[in-house]
């Protein structure tokens, strides 16, 4: 059975967070929260304890320090099955935190804005959020950690049923580290572009993040396995975000030919048609090609 005494809820993306917090409160959890999330929950009628009141330490440095406290991280990292941990938590007045619902400052959205000031980008680097997520994910046997709002419903269903199995806990922990790894790579990539002499096109450390869209029927050849991935949050027109209107699922070679056709017509300013067979252009019809820098 899952016993929920305390949940920490602090999000930038507030999609579904009120319903999630209501569900946790209905299960008897004390809701700890901060800033805008605490206000949103209170406005919705959810009882909230401010983290500052819980820790006894005020938010300082314009909110840069608020959750970086032993009562928070001790409550996340303390192992309930280790007597020495339990004893030390009791000795220092640290209560367990059983559920963490956290997502991070919108760094990617911030730097995507045209002419984003460097200072604004820096202030949108989250420190406390990744720290709480990583602490909770490390101790996922005792702490249910949710970083993705799309997981709220199934996590609440499991909590209401009284059992969050090991498979779900490990999946949620995996998603945390995938999320924080990508977050850090975005920050590192952005900062490299700000360094004098930095090369945004050819970074010293190349970090690529793609999400799996589907498993393919087979790979390049029938005896091989294959999967199709797309770049996260890419805005460029791409086969990866196309929609199949009819017919069976596409194969590796179908995607390869479709991508070649799309990239070819993107070379033109006017409406264009491209016919591709085995990755070789058979026909390309349009007006003059646009001039594109190499």
Active site amino acids: 138, 278
CA end-to-end span of the chain? 60
How many residues belong to the chain? 294
Distance CA 287, CA 284 (A): 10
- Taken in order 154, 159, 165, 167, the sign of the CA dihedral is positive
Tell me the three state secondary structure of residue 246. Answer: coil
Measure the CA–CA gap between 221 and 209, rounded to whole angstroms.
25
96: Cβ contacts below 8 Å, ≥ 6 apart: 5, 6, 75, 78, 80, 89, 142
**Nearest residue to 67 via CA among 80, 46, 79, 50:** 50
**DSSP label of 218:** S
**Per-residue DSSP letter, 289:** B
d(CA 182, CA 80): 30
């Amino acid at each position: 059975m899952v016993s929920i005494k305390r949940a920490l809820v602090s999000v930038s993306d507030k999609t579904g967070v009120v319903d999630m917090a209501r569900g946790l409160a209905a299960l008897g959890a004390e809701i700890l929260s901060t800033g805008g999330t605490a206000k949103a929950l209170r406005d919705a009628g959810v009882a909230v304890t401010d983290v500052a009141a819980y820790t006894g330490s005020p938010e300082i440095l314009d909110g840069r320090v608020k959750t970086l406290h032993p009562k928070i991280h001790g409550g996340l990292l303390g192992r309930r099955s280790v007597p020495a941990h339990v004893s030390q938590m009791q000795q220092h007045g640290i209560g367990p935190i059983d559920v963490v619902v956290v997502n991070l400052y919108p760094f990617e959205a911030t730097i995507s804005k045209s002419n984003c000031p460097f200072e604004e980008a820096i202030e949108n680097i989250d420190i406390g959020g990744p720290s709480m997520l990583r602490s909770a994910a490390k101790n996922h046997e005792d702490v249910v950690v949710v970083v993705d709002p799309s997981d709220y419903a199934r996590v609440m269903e499991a909590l209401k049923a009284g059992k969050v199995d090991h498979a779900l806990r490990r999946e949620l922990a995996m998603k945390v580290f995938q999320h924080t790894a990508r977050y850090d790579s975005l920050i590192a990539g952005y900062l490299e572009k700000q360094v004098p002499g930095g090369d945004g096109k050819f970074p010293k450390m190349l970090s690529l993040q793609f999400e799996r869209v589907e498993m393919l029927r087979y790979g390049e050849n029938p005896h091989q396995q294959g999967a199709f991935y797309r770049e996260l949050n890419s805005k460029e027109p791409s086969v990866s975000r196309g929609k199949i209107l009819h017919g069976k699922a596409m194969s590796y070679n179908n995607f390869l030919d479709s991508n070649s056709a799309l990239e070819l017509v993107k070379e033109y300013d006017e409406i264009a048609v491209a016919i591709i067979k085995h990755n070789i252009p058979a026909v390309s019809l349009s007006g003059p090609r646009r001039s594109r820098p190499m």
